[in-house]
Structure 1
Amino acid sequence: MRVLRVEGFGNFTFSAIALALTGFGAGGTLVFLLKKYFLKKELFASLFAPAVFLFTLGLGYYISGYISFDPLRLVWDINQLFRLLLRFFIYTVPFIAGSTFIVLAFSIEKPGKVYFFNMSGSAFGVLVILVSMYFIAPERIFIIPMSLSLVAVILLSISLRPGYKRLTALAVLTASGFIFFINAGINIVPYKGIKLTLNLPDAKIIEQKISPFGTLEVVSSKMIRSAPGLSLSFEETLPEQHGLFLDGDTFSAIDRISSPESLDYLYYQPQSAVYSLYKGPDVFIIGLGGGIAVERAYINNSRSITVTEDNPHIPNLLQNRFADYNNGFFNKNNITVIKSNGRDFINRTDSRWDIIDISVTDSMVSSIGGIYSTETNYTLTVEAFLGYLRHLNTNGSVSVTVGLKNPPRNLLKLVNLAKQTLIKQGLDPVERITVIRGWSTGTMILKKRPFTHNETDKIKAFSDRMFFDMVYYPGINPREANRYNVVEGAIYYKSVSGILNDDRYVKDYVFNLGHPTDNRPYFSYFLKIAKLPFHLKEMGHKLILVIEGGYIILFSTFVTAVVYSFILIVIPLFFAGNKIKPKKTKVLIYFGLLGISFMLIEIVLITKVSKYLANPLYSSSVIITSLLIFSGTGSYVSDILAKKRKRITPKNAAYFSILFIAGYTLIILFFYDRFYDSLANTPLFLKLAISILLILPLGLCMGIPFPSGIAELKKTPDHSIPWAWSINGYFSVIASTGAVLISTNVGLVLTGVIAAAGYLCALLVFPE
């Protein structure tokens, strides 16, 4: 995922999981089709599997560097589609080799033991990769799995003592893999932010920080200037700036502060509107980014400024490495920088502020990059806004600024989010919301109290000076809207007025403006499937891909995974004859349901826990590692108990574990939030420990159904075992892409309920 993200694959990075699982499924199919070839050669085939993994990973990485891919040309150039599929195929091949090793191990050792080492090894790999990301750049991160594969080859060679010819073949494979890897590199797409910036005169990277949070880079050039939404009335010169990039993307600026006047341009952005309402306010800012929002608060005479930042390396850059560049600005006494997630911090503090500022355009780089890439956003949900209102002083305001999209949708969704929050508080949104916009950004101001005429006049005066448009304020005259930055049909004024005054407007709008909640934390999800025919008619398939391509690509990948998996599941049936016929229906349904349900629960847990563990890096690491270790342990323990107690048959073990999984999952879904809300002031390390303990019983039981099914299949000729492994892998592919589609439409809770129901249905088709 890191490599794909750095290369610039954007919406395709989620496919990394699908690629791995597809390879795992294909490995099972390969073993099934070549069963006669592998017969009595399992040990030596297992010896070559890690060597082939190493070789194909190095070779694939080398070849992919020569396959240029341009995502923007995908909508009209069919060659780009073939290049994309070719690159995905190249990255899938190594997992086929790894899967072959595991499937062969099932035919040699006890299922519980194999499953334990498979899952525990995967957990170890997660931890090793995480640690290595602090020292190894993304373009060299493949050295870790390749080195681990080399260790496996060496250990197996010592144990099996292959002949000279086999050792020579192994040496050639491994050496060739490393040679290809050494000469390979990442091929960044041409439109990626840092690549374009480095084309500027005298541009160079002057600072780089590597970590699991992403590769943070600072670029210097005399040509760099950035001021999103800057008023057309600004006639002075912008200060010198550095460019700040995360994984080569998401541009933000670091100002050179040579004098107080250097920051005068910040008065000329819509974000400054809220400061016209206060004298010496206490300000809370979510997202440090390049520090622009903090600078704006300071020049507007804020008494105190508190700012949070997810990525711990960004504050270090501004307060230490570039302290001379910004004249020590971020070390001032009235500026407090908190290295934490904004939502997490606000839930564990009793402080109150006059202004809570969330400026997406100022702090885009504050979002975590790296291994966890998700569309979830717990900063912009109804529950988050309720928390912001609780931490405002009596006459306080929440100011949120977003970039404008055409056709309009994100600013409108923000207004509906504020409306639903106020309604939940029993307050009238018509009197408490004001919206202004420039040519590229829009700002919404939300108050606990109704806007007074004096406050409205101040914002109107500010907007007139800056040539910004009033989109909405209580009692707005239609003639006051759409005066400076004219858009056809005054769409922003009409839409915001419609949202606030007509409950049907959101339902009828062509894009999804539904308010995000903690159960559906997808602020950026705008596509309405029911409106897709309308979009295709109005925009054509090419334009809709550019405007809302992310979810269309996700849906297309899901459909492709279903078709691809169906083909590879059915193919073995034509070669198997009657060998797997007696149990084929039960094997298909049982292992398919296990694959879907396991993946759905994992993704739901990662998403829910990310809200409480400060940043998604911790949540993904804790959930994935814990589930892998505990699942492996559960399978191993079940093997031991089955050996000591004859009553514990594979079927009984599967029944007990599945019933517990379903019940425990439902408890987590409906009581997890309440429990963690009571731990708001608990230190992070205790939250991590509590999360691991909560996952422990679930993980132990989730490791039992799969090896129990394999153990049952081993009682008969094991032609079904590779096929069962393939089914589990392919349905996991479907679930990895389908989970996002399901949760965006029905929410995380119902997605978890579906997973629990899937496990219960598996009870009915245990392959005995």
Structure 2
Amino acid sequence: MPRPPLFALALLSAAALGYEILLMRLLSIILWHHFAYMMISVALLGYGAAGALVALARRALVRHFVPVFAGGALLFGLSALACFELAQRVGFNPLEILWEPAQPLRLLAIYLLLFVPFLCAATSVCLSFARFPQQVPRLYSFDILGAGLGCLGIIAALFLLDPVDALRLVGMAGMAAAALACMECRWHRPWLPVLLLAAAAVPAAVPDSWMALRPSEYKELSQLLRIGDARVVAQRSSPLGLVTVVESPSIPLRHAPGLSLNATAEPPPQLAVLTDGDGLSALNHYDGRREALAYLGDLTSALPYHLLRAPRVLVLGSGAGADVLQALYHGASEVDAVELNAQVIGLVQDRFSAFSGKPYSAAGVQVHVGEARGFLAASPQRYDLIQVALLDSFSTSSAGLYALSESYLYTVEAFGEYLRHLRPGGMLAITRWVSLPPRDIPRLFATAVAAMARAGVPDPARRLVLVRGWKTATLVVKHGDFQPAEIGALRDFCRARSFDVEYHPGIRAGEANRYNVLDRPDFFTAAQALLGPDREGFLSRYKFDVRPATDDRPYFFHFFKWRTLPELIALKAQGGLPLLDWGYPVLVATLLQATAAALLLIGIPLLVLRRRSAAAPAVSPWRTGLYFAAVGLGFMFVEIAFIQKFILFLSHPLYAVAVVLCAFLCFAGLGSRYAPRVPGRSRRQVALAIGGVCAVALLYLAALPVVFPLLIAWPDPARVAIAVALIAPLAFLMGMPFPLGLSGLAARDDTLVPWAWGINACASVVAAVLATLLAIHAGFTVVVLVALLLYAGAALACP
């Protein structure tokens, strides 16, 4: 065989990583985000299983390299479609997992189904390293370069195709890789590549009805479509989400979060707008008459408009436009609306323009497509009111299904940015759902107090107001002290609408918890404690974690404390389980499962290989295992941490993932190709590469917080170029330790090459989960520091 199938390897790696990213989108649509994350992690154990398989059956597989490689790629293309479709039919409901015995088994069935495509692809990739051990750096460079381009390619494809058609494309790519391998290896059956290329067209011919997405019946979209003749009237897809518009002619939608029970005006006709089947918001019918919007004055979010006159307003997360209409109804002089998803704006302004009245084209309104923090960082404007819209659905929030979602809207640094963009006397207003026992609101209150303390405000207690309705609460933070006249207007506003005043400067205990009465005045008590001298004691004693989120630990929706778990489980018969933040226990369970599976996949092949060989091993298996595990963990830790750090700089989560992940993989591939040219013997080469990784990463930890604020106002193309330039040297060096170690191992004992490859793969799966757990508790900076310790350990363990 004259050469390895390098381009087929790159295409197959691109298809596999594209499938991984696409599964996260698909599973977010049919289930929820954190279950998608869990299943991806477990499914990627297919890579570790492939290492074990090739290590145990190396001789037979290498002897039939071309048919096995092509067969693995072909089976990946077929199973990528078939296994996802079967997984949809399992009928798994995560909300029943603790009391329905069949649900864990159904979850296991989904794991096993999603495991298959990765096992097929990884077997072909790993076999390439076993068949050509002397070309490890070259193979690894094509493998990882292909993965980087696959990441970029699938995100680009999701702008042009819906998720199901993108899945077809991934299947076709896998089959095309099989044909390409036969051609590159010049196999002696010339008709086979033609046949395989013809097979690559099969996914395009699969009927749409077979591939249709089937969201969980407990998602809001599924519930809406159960109503009478409700139907989907428009749908738009992008990497940011699947936006669906639903109409119900016979039973009209009435969505008015936090509407006062004293309200006399009903909402106008509405259409439901959902993203990934959740996060319900309303598209209001507006014909230009102000009277039709009267209900917007009876929401808790209307409070700041009763304290300001003709304010200049910034709406963050404007969505379908209800908050813009609220500003117009209350006589705002100017409105800047910021929305991340351009397709939502397109639906409001174009597809449903006759229904919506085109609120973004109203006099004084200017719409901006972008991320909230990035817009503010680049804007010199100051506002009388900054309004953060109610962005997520009540059902998923109350069920703890957002627990692992990072959010940079509610961090201490974000509050500081908001306050810096207020005019003197201006106000920041944030509305959240009322969750009982209180979680969101105490954390929001604590974050505001921490941000003002960081800004040097001498008495934060004089600048805060909190009101509560039956379903929503609104926190108002003022740039300046609240005056007696404003407190009077606040009381009048709440009295007329039966809203509870939970905090204002000088409030007395008897004034709180009067209308929507709770057993205890928990919101008032929390506000007093967070402003008092025993703040740390309150945060420590509270049954939920309500400490302020930061940019380094941006998990605002993570409220879980282990000590509360027994009480929540004991209350399950009384409905206590919705208080459990599902994401965190699921993540811990994933870590345990992934670690157990990894140990089995690493240990079993080693025992078998040692029994087969009577001679003493040429290299220490323990040192070898430690080295490749440390390199795999360290690489993933650094990659995940820096993706998060670049999200704010690039001002767009999608750009950050696409640019950072692609740049890391591509430059790591180039580093792999250059690795053999590093002067010195293998161990010295590894030490130089790891020393470079540690030096550059430490430099970035110190310098990036200073550099990013200086450059964040630059245009998008310039920031992308800067991000790539910053990632390049770090990723280039990170691409060296793995191929150098594998090349050195191949020179001493090539039978251990697939085993070592599998260790690296297993470690990567564990690292993806462990990095998130570390970030939740200690922050992403600690994740990087732990990664550098792992790299240092790898340098010491290098066999």
**The TM-score by the shorter chain falls in which range?**
over 0.9
Correspondence for 1:185: 212
Q: For residues 77-476 of structure 1, what are the structure 2 equivalents within 5 Å?
A: 77-109=100-132, 110-158=135-183, 159-163=185-189, 183-222=210-249, 223-258=252-287, 259-361=289-391, 375-427=405-457, 428-476=459-507
- Stretch of structure 1 that moved more, 717-726 or 434-443: 717-726
Please list every run of 5 or more consecutive structure 2 residues that lacks an aligned counterpart in the other structure: 1-23
2:548 to 515, 519, 523: 515
Cα displacement (A) at 1:652: 2.5
Secondary structure of 1:133's match?
A: helix
- Distance in 1 of aligned mates of 2:391 and 2:126: 49
SS, match of residue 668 in structure 1: helix
- Report the secondary structure of 1:489's partner residue: coil
1:42 aligns with 2:75: no
SS class of match (1:465): helix
CA contact (8 A) 1:61 1:181 kept: no
Q: Distance in 1 between matches of 2:227 and 2:572?
A: 34
Q: Partner residue of 2:6?
A: none
The letter of the residue matching 1:189 is: S
Q: CA deviation at 1:184?
A: 3.4
In the alignment, which residue of structure 2 is the partner of 1:718? 750
Q: Distance in 2 between matches of 1:330 and 1:176?
A: 44
Residues 99-151 of structure 1 show CA distances to partners (whole Å, capped at 9, x for unaligned) of: 11111111333011110110111122112211211232212322122111222
**How much does 1:536 deviate?**
4.3
Partners in 2 of 1:314 and 1:165 — Cα distance?
49
- Kept in 2: contact 1:52–1:173 (CA 8 A): no
Q: Give CA-to-partner distance per residue, 1:667-690, whole Å, 9 cap, x none.
A: 112221210100132111100000
Residues 442/3 of structure 1: CA separation in 2 closer, same or farther (3 Å cut): same
Q: Which amino acid aligns with 1:758?
A: L
**One-letter code of the match for 2:588?**
F
Structure 1, unaligned runs of 5 or more: none
- Letter paired with 1:305: V
1:639-718 correspondence to structure 2 within 5 Å? 639=676, 641=677, 647-718=679-750
Q: Is the 8 A contact 2:317 2:391 kept in 1?
A: no
Residue 575 (1) aligns with residue 602 (2): no
SS in 2 for 1:474: coil
Please show how residues 719-758 of structure 1 align to structure 2 within 5 Å: 719-758=751-790
Counterpart AA for 2:373: R
Counterpart amino acid of residue 509 in structure 1: Y
- Where 1:484 maps in the other structure, the secondary structure is coil
Q: Is the 8 A contact 2:62 2:130 kept in 1?
A: no
The answer to whether the 8 A contact 2:404-2:557 is kept is no
User: Does the Cα contact within 8 Å between 1:289 and 1:362 map onto a contact in 2?
Assistant: no
SS of residue in 2 equivalent to 1:439: coil
What is the Cα deviation at residue 494 of structure 1? 1.4
How far off is 1:292 after superposition? 1.1
In 2 relative to 1, CA 20–706 (structure 1 residues): closer, same or farther, beyond 3 Å?
Answer: farther
1:27 alignment partner, one of 50, 53, 70: 50
Change (3 A) 1:279 1:703: same
**Structure-2 change in CA distance of 1:180 and 1:279 (3 Å):** closer
- Cα gap change, 1:60/1:542 in structure 2, threshold over 3 Å: closer, same or farther? farther
Q: How does 1:479-558 map to 2 (within 5 A)?
A: 479-501=510-532, 502-503=534-535, 504-537=537-570, 543-544=576-577, 547-558=580-591
Mapped pair 1:631 → 2:668: yes
| Contact 2:280–2:393 (Cα < 8 Å) also in 1 | no
Amino acid at match of 1:400: I
Where 2:241 maps in the other structure, the secondary structure is coil
1:375 match: secondary structure: coil
Give, in whole Å, the separation in 1 of the partners of 2:339 and 2:163.
Answer: 23
Change (3 A) 1:541 1:712: farther
* 243-252 or 394-403, larger mean C-alpha shift: 243-252
Return closer, same or farther for 1:702/1:189 CA change in 2, 3 Å cut-off: same
Give distance in 2, aligned partners of 1:576 and 1:4. 38
Cα distance in 2 between the residues matched to 1:116 and 1:607: 25
1:57/1:177 contact within 8 Å kept: no
* Greater displacement, 745-754 / 191-200: 191-200
Provide TM-score, normalisation by structure 2: 0.91
Please list the CA deviations of residues 706-758 of structure 1 after superposition, one character each: whole Å capped at 9, or x if unmatched: 00011011112312111111111111111101111101100111111111111
Change (3 A) 1:751 1:530: farther
Counterpart-to-counterpart distance in 2, 1:40 and 1:53: 21
Report the AA paired with residue 131 of structure 1: A
| Structure-2 separation of matches of 1:362 and 1:33 | 49
* Helix, strand or coil at the partner of 2:140: helix
CA offset digits 1:426-463 (Å, max 9, x no partner): 22121111100001111111112121111111111100
- Please report how far the alpha carbon of residue 546 of structure 1 lies from its aligned counterpart in structure 2 after TM superposition: 5.5
When residues 634 and 479 of structure 1 are mapped into structure 2, their CA distance, relative to the original with a 3 A threshold, is same
Is contact 2:311-2:334 (8 Å) kept?
yes
Q: Which residue of the partner structure matches residue 478 of structure 1?
A: 509
Mean Cα displacement is larger for which, 435-444 or 486-495? Answer: 486-495
Once the two structures are TM-superposed, the CA of residue 375 in structure 1 deviates from its matched residue by 1.6
What letter is aligned with 1:379? L
**How far 1:41 sits from its partner (Å)?**
2.1
CA distance in 2 between counterparts of 1:63 and 1:535 reads 34
Q: Within 2, Cα distance between the matches of 1:405 and 1:674?
A: 37
Question: Residues 375 and 670 (structure 1 numbering): CA distance in 2 closer, same or farther, change over 3 Å?
Answer: farther
Q: Is the CA contact (8 Å cut-off) linking 1:192 and 1:248 kept in structure 2?
A: yes
Q: CA deviation at 1:517?
A: 1.2
What is the count of residue pairs matched by the alignment?
A: 757
SS of alignment partner, residue 296 of structure 2: helix
- Contact 2:179-2:197 at 8 Å conserved across structures: no
Question: When the two structures are superposed, what TM-score results if normalisation uses the length of structure 1?
Answer: 0.94
Deviation at 1:327, TM superposition (A): 2.0
**1:287-314 Cα shifts (integer Å, max 9, x gaps):** 1111111111111111111111111222
Q: Distance in 2 between matches of 1:448 and 1:175?
A: 62
Letter in 1 for 2:466: V
